[in-house]
Amino acid sequence: MEKKKNGFASGIGFILAAAGSAVGLGNLWGFPFKTSANGGAAFVFVYIACVLFIGAVTMIAEIYIGKRAAANTVSSYKKINKNFGWAGLLVLLIPFLITCYYSVLGGYTLKYTLNSFAGNEGILGTFSVNIGEVILYTALFMVLALVIVMAGIKGGIEKASKVLMPVLFLILVFIVIFCLFLGEGVQAGLNKYLNPDFYAFFHDAEGNLSFNGLLAAMGQAFFSLSLGMGAMVCYGSYTGKEIKVGKSVAMICIFDTCVAFLAGLAMFPAIGALAPEQLNTSGGVGLMFAILPLVFARMGAFGQVISFLFFAMVAIAAITSVISLVEVVTQLIVQKTKMSRKKSALVVMAIAFAISVPVGISLGRVAILEEAGLNLFGFDMLTFFDEATNAVLMPLGAFAACFAIGWLFGEKKTLADWFSPKALVARLEEDGLHLGKFSMVFAVMIKYVTPVLILFLDVSGIITNVTKNPNYWFIVGFSLLLIIISAVFYFLFLKKSNTGCNADELAAEEVEEASAE
């Protein structure tokens, strides 16, 4: 009998699932407005450079860390170095926190999808503070994601991604073509989106030199590619020998970037044609949930169909992303506690749901209506968690992956073994990572260039933010607290104990089946 394995059934299944994790609200919403706010095509160029030099390199490292261990994130980092397993715990707390706010936004997308035929124009102010409804849609979104995670990797995540990702892409292409032919105003929209403005990219609103554009590009690349949060380590752990890491990463990065670029190519021409007075308004929650509904309303009867397709596409993107976040945490619980997948996923979701309730309330009252209310140190809760995870912790998670592969990985006998990229290539090849002619470039990047860039940008981002708003220290403090908790918990409870691996889930299932017979 062929040996059973719990993981992706095929290479394409893995690529679609990883692309599903990557393509999400970050692409369909974050990228377009960040591009238009940060110098258009100038931002796109720098973004692509970030994807190439930072994103792809980090993604190779993360997928490989998971793949070679075939285990949860804690065990995967532990396998690199026993004293570094806590990084695996840290990169697991981040997706958990993201789940709590991503699901609230996911709930919004479901509401807007289902309400498309009744019209979404102007509902943001009333829907967002209708707490019962917000909670209901958040719960609905979480249940959909839960059902997929409960069904496992092959039967749930892979199956769902194989169906949903092509659907998403077809809808996107259709909407882009539709929007590009809306006539007058399309050009103005395109200019707003893409007009290259390097001055705007490197300066703030007051005309001072600023790295904010660069920071936004890097942050966006990490978030969009699902890096620094264990998701790629986790999905990578479910891959087998048939998957080529380098090629898969290239495909995921290209797909993710194309979708992000196309999303803007739909939105801005449509706004330019139908709501040109909105072209210069802010791109936050308003872009997706207030301005676009206005645009759809002005499209006439067909606008309802476009609205439905558009929000369904966003909801699909959000679901295939959130399942990767939940899987990271579920995987560890299944493997460490030997509880069933269904129970583990349910526990993770239930706790995330409890936290998402105040986040949902805070988003409506504080962020959207700008009333005093549920906030954390002057930030609405979504912004607080979003900043802590995206601006502070995610780059550190990505740094951890680079550091693990670049410096901790493998046995080093001589000084050259420590410092030479060539020696690193040899160690990686011997271990099973073959990158062909890119291997030297990869080794130099992962050892010397990428981690330095990441640290520089993370630290300068923190400095910029605390100078602008001293309360930002609370966000930094909260992030540090999570790091300390991960480290203390790891060294006290996990370092010496068995933290499990993917095969454990199969073994547990077999025992269960045998006892049922």
Interface residues for ligand PFF in 358-417 (CB under 6 A)? none
Task: Evaluate whether 327 touches 312 at the Cβ level (below 8 Å).
Answer: no
Q: Which of residues 75-114 bind ligand PFF (CB under 6 A)?
A: 95, 98
The residue from 21, 38, 161, 362 that contacts ligand PFF (CB under 6 A) is 21
Shortest distance, CB of residue 381 to ligand PFF, whole angstroms?
18
- All residues at 6 or more sequence positions from 256 whose CB lies less than 8 Å from its CB, including other chains: 19, 22, 23, 27, 51, 224, 225
Taking phi over 0 as left and psi of -120 to 50 as alpha, with beta for the rest, 313 belongs to alpha
DSSP 361-375: HHIIIIIIS--S-SE
Shortest distance in whole angstroms from residue 286 CB to ligand PFF: 18
List helix spans (H) across 184-241.
Answer: 186-194, 198-202, 212-224, 231-237
Out of 6, 7, 14, 27, the residue judged to bind ligand PFF by CB under 6 A: 27
Least Å from the CB of residue 414 to ligand PFF:
38
Pick the closer one to ligand PFF by CB: 59 or 433: 59
Q: Which is nearer to ligand PFF, 201 or 255 (CB)?
A: 255
CA contacts within 13 A on the Cβ side of 238: 29
321 binds ligand PFF (CB under 6 A): yes
Query: Residue 5: CB partners within 8 Å, gap ≥ 6?
Result: 240, 506
In this chain, which of 73, 226, 257, 331 binds ligand PFF, going by CB under 6 A?
226
Nearer to ligand PFF, 251 or 449 (CB): 251
Number of residues that bind ligand PFF (CB under 6 A): 16
Contacts of 500 (CB under 8 A, 6+ apart): 71, 72, 75, 332, 334, 335, 336, 338
Judged by beta carbon, residue 164 or residue 229, the one nearer ligand PFF is: 229
Query: Is 157 or 273 the residue whose CB approaches ligand PFF more closely?
Result: 157
**With respect to ligand PFF, which residue has the nearer C-beta, 214 or 229?**
229
Smaller CB separation from ligand PFF, 26 or 364: 26
Position 344 contacts ligand PFF (CB under 6 A): no
- CA–CA separation, 324 vs 229, rounded Å? 10
Give min distance, CB of 264 to ligand PFF, in A. 14
**Alpha carbon distance 325, 92 (integer Å):** 8
Alpha helices for 70-158 (secondary structure H): 73-80, 85-114, 124-127, 131-150
Name residue 376's beta-bridge partners: 379
480/83 Cα distance (integer angstroms)? 18
Among 15, 16, 19, 25, binds ligand PFF (CB under 6 A): 25
Under the criterion CB under 6 A, does residue 325 sit at the interface with ligand PFF? yes
Contact (CB, 8 A) for 405 and 446:
yes
21 versus 439: smaller Cβ distance to ligand PFF: 21
Q: Which stretch binds ligand PFF (CB under 6 A): 201-209, 218-226, 238-246, 411-419?
A: 218-226
Residues 392 and 398: beta-carbon distance below 8 Å: no
Which residue among 6, 72, 224, 330 contacts ligand PFF (CB under 6 A)? 224
Q: Which residues bind ligand PFF (CB under 6 A)?
A: 21-22, 24-27, 95, 98, 223-224, 226, 229, 231, 321, 324-325
